[in-house]
């Protein structure tokens, strides 16, 4: 009974994250032009950008390789989560892995599908849904939609600071999405509260 309940919790977490993530991305994609911003508060804005890379807009490897890597990672994490539920691990640990899986899955949907079903976004133009295959790119080459921006502190470097003196700066300039948040929260809680559980689970997997 406990295994069944943890399995349902995992499914609920994954579905909830995916629904919120995709709903927010589709709304932004079809209601805002690229680089358009909506100010919620002085320290929180909805700022529409797209990226080809990993979480928080990092771009370090080719798009095709990245998309394939994400798909492979999702398969492995999904199998790992299945084994955790089947073995009867703690609900909190399973929630962490579910958050990471959901976040990775949320971004791979953008990469795999968005290029096929959306027209291009660019400054002054709001994208729209188009028939499959008539989008701005091909399978596995879609761009990930980011929109959460928290410029907590904005200012200018003092003139005496080498190289950056007099230049503007923003504390926490990363722009991200719900999927990125799920991955980050899952990893953070995992490392703070479940490091031993993670080590033991991986040790058992190696022995198996």
Chain segment 121-137, per-residue pLDDT in tens: 999 999 999 999 999 99
**Percent of the chain residues past pLDDT 70, beyond the cut:** 91
* 201 domain-assigned: yes
* 11 domain-assigned: yes
Pick the catalytic residue from 21, 110, 180, 206. Answer: 180
* 129 domain-assigned: yes
* 170 domain-assigned: no
* 164 domain-assigned: no
Pick the catalytic residue from 21, 110, 146, 206. Answer: 146
pLDDT of residue 67: 81
Q: Is the pLDDT of residue 206 over 60?
A: no
* 161, 141 Cβ separation under 8 angstroms: no
Which whole number is the average pLDDT over 132-153? 94
pTM score, whole prediction: 0.88
* Enclosing domain of residue 88: 2-32+52-145+176-207
Question: How many domains in the chain?
Answer: 1
206 carries an active-site annotation: no
* 22 domain-assigned: yes
* 180, 146 Cβ separation under 8 angstroms: yes
* 203 domain-assigned: yes
* 152 domain-assigned: no
pLDDT of residue 59: 52
Q: Is the pLDDT of residue 56 over 70?
A: no
146 carries an active-site annotation: yes
pLDDT of residue 189: 97
Which whole number is the average pLDDT over 62-68? 74
**Residue 56 burial (10 A CB sphere; 0-12, 13-18, 19+):** middle
Indicate the pLDDT class of residue 57, thresholds 50, 70 and 90: very low
Read out DSSP for the chain? Answer: -HHHHHHHHHHHHHHHHHHHHHHHHHHHHHH-BTT-EEEEETTEEEEEEEESSSGGG---S-HHHHHHHHHHHHHHHHHHHHHHHHHT--HHHHHHHHHHHHHHHHHHHIIIIIHHHBPPPBTTBB--B--TT-SSS-TT-PPEEEEEE---EEEE--TTSTTTTT-EEEES--EE-HHHHHHHHHHHHHHHH-HHHHHHHHHHHHH-
């Amino acid at each position: 009974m406990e295994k069944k309940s943890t399995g349902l919790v995992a499914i609920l977490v994954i579905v909830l994250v995916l629904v919120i993530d995709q709903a927010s991305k589709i709304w932004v994609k079809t209601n805002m032009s690229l680089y358009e911003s909506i100010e919620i508060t002085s320290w929180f804005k909805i700022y529409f950008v797209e990226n080809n890379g990993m979480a928080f807009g990092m771009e370090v490897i080719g798009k095709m390789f990245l998309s394939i890597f994400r798909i492979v990672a999702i398969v492995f994490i999904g199998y790992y989560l299945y084994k955790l539920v089947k073995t009867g691990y703690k609900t909190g640990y399973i929630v962490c892995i579910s958050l990471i899986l959901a976040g990775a899955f949320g971004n791979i949907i953008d990469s795999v599908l968005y290029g096929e079903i959306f027209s291009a976004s660019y400054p002054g133009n709001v994208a729209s849904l188009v028939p499959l295959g008539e989008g701005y790119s091909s399978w596995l080459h879609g761009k990930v939609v980011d929109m959460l921006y928290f410029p907590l502190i904005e200012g200018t470097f003092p003139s005496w600071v080498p190289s950056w003196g007099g230049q503007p700066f923003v504390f926490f300039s990363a722009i991200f999405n719900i999927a990125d948040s799920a991955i980050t929260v899952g990893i953070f809680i995992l490392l703070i509260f479940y490091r031993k559980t993670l080590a033991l689970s991986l040790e058992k997997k190696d022995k198996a």
